[in-house]
Structure 1
Amino acid sequence: MTSKSIVAVTNCPAGIAHTYMVAEAIQQKGEARGYTVHVETQGASGVENVLTIAQIREADYVILALGKGMTDDDRKRFAGKKVVEVSVSRAIKDMDEIMADLEGHSKRFAGSTSDDDPVSSSAGSVTGIMSYLMAGVSAALPFVIGGGMLMAFGSILAQFGAPSVGPGEGGIASFAWVLSNVGSLGFTFMIPIMGAYIANAIGDKPALAPAFICTYLANNAELLGTETGAGFLGSIAIGLSVGYFVKAFRKIKLPKNLQSLMGFFVIPVVTLFVFGLLTYYVLGPVMAWLMSALISMLGAIPSELKLVAAFLVGCMLAFDLGGPVNKAAWFFSFSLVASGVYDWYGIVGVVGCIPPMACGIASLIRPQLFSEGERDAAIPAIIVGSTCTSEPAIPYVMAAPIPMMAANLLAGGIAGVLSMLLGVQRLAPGIGVLDPVLGLITPIPSYYIAFGIGLVLNVVLIVVFKSSWIKRREAKAASKAQ
């Protein structure tokens, strides 16, 4: 009897943890059920283990576990196949259930994202606006991470006495100056890249160049003639507008001898013409005004309300550990970085590391409260969690949702308040708890105070809440037995 085969594609907004966790789950659980499994990961390192035409043709089922959507061109590979399409967060939680009934969860795939595609229309959480926004963020992250690290290195060199002079100030530019200025280009292009890939997620490649150029225009105050750029609001408005415009435009059918010109000539030229003018005269100035108003509003919030908001952001970050609530708080905080507002992203730097590290530490301190698998995962959870990756906490939360979520939420909210009170600012994404040493988070003492208190509090709350939860369960079990 020929063994059955599964092919899968996994991706997530950041392209770091969820992408590979789900890939491993599909591989292990599929092979345990006798399937031959091939998984393509679309992560931060690019596309790995690309599925071949033969693998797709021979597959009985296709699993698409997506966190940032998939373009029409990518989907076309699976036309006619039985496809199970789920959000990456659901795939982590429910892979056993999905694998147990692939036939029931699958639908014959038409291979596009049109409204009459039964697969994509049934997976709104995957193909919705938030997934388009996170596709833009995912593309922008390498720019701001690389740029931030180079700027940090340049700053560190300058702090240790290295010269930081440009080519016009003494002949040859210094090494520290070059690092800082090359790094700053990452921040310059972060917003245009974000807008371009939001559009690309909706309208595919023909939308990429017009959205990039128009978003760059909207963020160049000198070209636009405004006081400020349009910031992340501009990238969202332009990215979505261009994406949907191009998606509608692609439905126009030209004669066959002209159809080949649509993708690389007609659509980009017409779209750039329309949105170039629209951006210059309408979208750019309006979004720049809105961005300026938002920044002014955030600066004018009374300190009491700001602390309430900081508590809420901290809770959101600790809530679903890389899920939609976490990503919404992260997106809000991260998107303000390009406009020079760093305190909200400072909360991300503090809270992002705490839940997984607290879970790992608690399982080492009170091992009797945790399963053998949770104890074995303690050291990896602490190490990976220290890089501001919250996903290692997921297995601990799934094993005991009520006490673990309560502990994480309370500690995350309080850590968020401490971060805001102490003025923690995160200038760019980095590598977690070492970011202050690299110059990516300031001030250094404030960060470690907020982080340290939040971490200790989370560990204590986990131990207290989970001990109480286990005792209650044991008492209930004993009473039922009587």
Structure 2
Amino acid sequence: MTQFNAGKKSVGTEVKNAIMTGVSYMLPFIIAGAVLMGIARIGASFYGVDNIWDSSHAESVHSLVQIFHDFDGFGGLALSLMLPIVAGYIGFAIANKPAIAPGMIGGLLAGKLGTGFLGALAAGLIAGYIVRYLANNIKLPKALASAGPIFIIPVGGTLIVCALMSYVIGDPMAALNRGLETWLLSMSDGNKVVLAAVVGGMVGFDLGGPINKAAVTTAMALLASGIYDPNTAAQVAIIIPPIGIGMATLIWKSRFPESLQEAGKASTLMGLIGVSEGAIPFALANPKIIAVNVVGSAVGAAMAVGLGAVNKAPISGFYGWLAVESWFVYVLAIATGSAIIAVGSLLVFNGEETKKEVKKENAPKFTVSR
């Protein structure tokens, strides 16, 4: 059976290269989804529609609103492939084609379990190393050798990955999510600026992952009870990381790896329409940016709430900004948080990756050198 070897690369280098491979394959899906959703939401805003994703618009009296609703669905479909694609191709980078199916299925399960991109990251790495182990240790007779890469390894790898995701990784992350929601609810009667900073930092931490979802879900629950500050903080924080990082790539493009330079445009667009996932490729490429995201999101959220902005709707996209009470303060808070992240991004991505990419000869198309 085919064997896969790590060569002389350290585990850290191999993991980083694998993550960047997954990001490279994932980017076209993010860009396609962002553009389609941007078209839909911007177009719908001209008809006074700020929730074009709602199923009721499929029966709108305006045919263009129906089309925009469909476009938003197409974009959402593209984004829904983000987790399985990144997980599948992280596995592929480690153990080649037999790891794609276990990785993608594990990434799909990560989405279902609510573990976000951190769960997908884990699924891809588990798939890669499990498949490599199986390929290197299962010995088959010659007559059955061809069945290994297309049957035994994908099936066995998928079963192991799904079992680990369901019974080992999923439950602790779900428990963490419930605990965070309870903690936030207990803070709702305290200092509103501190609460806003905590909500903002959580939202900016994992960009759609369990910590982010705990903050947003709790904010939505409090919104239904007429408590608006957590929602204001969450909606501000959702869009600050992708806008801030996108601004940084526009200001000083050469400081970012070539594989991420074009991703900044999609990140900016996704931020403007209220989709935080545009910043995920940058967090995967350099986890140091997560701390910058937390600070920028916390500052922006605390500033909006502290200066009196109130967002009574679960809308973060630009098409809802003018409906916010004290909207100028709200926009200023977004700009401030985004500026913090833009500056921080330029410090974290200092151009070294780009120089090494240029120097590296015969580099695989979807692998980035450390």
Measure, in 1, the Cα distance between the counterparts of 2:165 and 2:123. 18
Measure, in 2, the Cα distance between the counterparts of 1:460 and 1:127. 32
1:341 to 215, 227, 241: 227
The 1:429/1:16 distance shift into structure 2, 3 A limit, reads farther
1:125 to 145, 168, 171: 171
The 1:92/1:62 distance shift into structure 2, 3 A limit, reads closer
How far off is 1:375 after superposition?
0.4
Measure, in 2, the Cα distance between the counterparts of 1:408 and 1:126. 24
The 1:88/1:405 distance shift into structure 2, 3 A limit, reads closer
Give the structure 2 partner of residue 443 of structure 1: 326
Given that 1:66 and 1:126 are in contact with CA atoms closer than 8 Å, whether structure 2 keeps it comes out as no
State yes or no: 1:422 paired with 2:307: yes
The 1:37/1:394 distance shift into structure 2, 3 A limit, reads closer
Within 5 A, what are the aligned runs for 1:243-254? none
Determine helix, strand or coil for the equivalent of 2:275: coil
* RMSD over aligned Cα atoms: 4.2
How far off is 1:450 after superposition?
1.1
Give the structure 2 partner of residue 282 of structure 1: none
Measure, in 2, the Cα distance between the counterparts of 1:91 and 1:444. 36
Give the structure 1 partner of residue 110 of structure 2: 66
Given that 1:353 and 1:386 are in contact with CA atoms closer than 8 Å, whether structure 2 keeps it comes out as yes
Give the structure 2 partner of residue 452 of structure 1: 335
Measure, in 2, the Cα distance between the counterparts of 1:428 and 1:354. 18
- Structure 2: which amino acid aligns with 1:417? A
Deviations along 1:341-378, one digit per CA (max 9) or x if unpaired, are: 11211111111111111112111211221011110111
- Structure 1: which amino acid aligns with 2:249? S
Deviations along 1:88-113, one digit per CA (max 9) or x if unpaired, are: 5332466255235337684758x9xx
State yes or no: 1:405 paired with 2:290: yes
Measure, in 1, the Cα distance between the counterparts of 2:203 and 2:79. 16
Specify every segment of 5 or more residues in structure 2 that has no aligned partner in the other structure, as ranges. Answer: 2-75, 135-155, 357-370
Given that 2:256 and 2:349 are in contact with CA atoms closer than 8 Å, whether structure 1 keeps it comes out as no
Measure, in 1, the Cα distance between the counterparts of 2:211 and 2:112. 15
Measure, in 2, the Cα distance between the counterparts of 1:60 and 1:452. 38
How far off is 1:340 after superposition?
1.1
Deviations along 1:229-266, one digit per CA (max 9) or x if unpaired, are: xxx99xxxxxxxxxxxxxxxxxxxxxxxxxxxxxxxxx
- Structure 1: which amino acid aligns with 2:224? A
Give the structure 2 partner of residue 478 of structure 1: none
Measure, in 1, the Cα distance between the counterparts of 2:296 and 2:338. 7
Measure, in 2, the Cα distance between the counterparts of 1:411 and 1:122. 33
Within 5 A, what are the aligned runs for 1:371-390? 371-390=257-276
Give the structure 1 partner of residue 366 of structure 2: none
How far off is 1:319 after superposition?
1.4
Greater fraction helix: 2
Given that 1:414 and 1:454 are in contact with CA atoms closer than 8 Å, whether structure 2 keeps it comes out as yes
1:368 to 254, 257, 278: 254
Work out the number of aligned pairs and report it: 253
How far off is 1:18 after superposition?
6.5
Measure, in 1, the Cα distance between the counterparts of 2:286 and 2:99. 33
How far off is 1:69 after superposition?
3.2
Given that 1:344 and 1:425 are in contact with CA atoms closer than 8 Å, whether structure 2 keeps it comes out as no
1:90 to 110, 116, 119: 119
Within 5 A, what are the aligned runs for 1:27-426? 33-34=96-97, 63=106, 64-69=108-113, 88-92=117-121, 95=124, 98-102=127-131, 106=157, 108=159, 120-125=166-171, 128-129=174-175, 298=188, 301=190, 305-402=191-288, 404-426=289-311
Measure, in 1, the Cα distance between the counterparts of 2:317 and 2:208. 15
Greater fraction strand: 1
| Higher RCO (CA < 8 A, seq sep 6+) | 2
Determine helix, strand or coil for the equivalent of 2:333: helix
Measure, in 2, the Cα distance between the counterparts of 1:434 and 1:61. 34
Determine helix, strand or coil for the equivalent of 2:331: helix
How far off is 1:311 after superposition?
1.8
Specify every segment of 5 or more residues in structure 1 that has no aligned partner in the other structure, as ranges. Answer: 2-14, 39-58, 71-85, 112-116, 135-231, 234-290, 475-482
Give the structure 1 partner of residue 32 of structure 2: none
Determine helix, strand or coil for the equivalent of 1:418: helix
Aligned identity (percent) is 26
The 1:118/1:92 distance shift into structure 2, 3 A limit, reads closer
How far off is 1:132 after superposition?
8.6
Measure, in 1, the Cα distance between the counterparts of 2:245 and 2:328. 24
Q: State TM-score, norm by structure 2.
A: 0.56
How far off is 1:464 after superposition?
3.6
Measure, in 2, the Cα distance between the counterparts of 1:370 and 1:94. 27
- Structure 2: which amino acid aligns with 1:446? V
Measure, in 2, the Cα distance between the counterparts of 1:415 and 1:60. 36
Measure, in 2, the Cα distance between the counterparts of 1:21 and 1:319. 18
1:20 to 81, 102, 109: 81
How far off is 1:126 after superposition?
7.2
Given that 1:317 and 1:330 are in contact with CA atoms closer than 8 Å, whether structure 2 keeps it comes out as yes
- Structure 2: which amino acid aligns with 1:413? A
The 1:123/1:100 distance shift into structure 2, 3 A limit, reads closer
Given that 2:92 and 2:99 are in contact with CA atoms closer than 8 Å, whether structure 1 keeps it comes out as yes
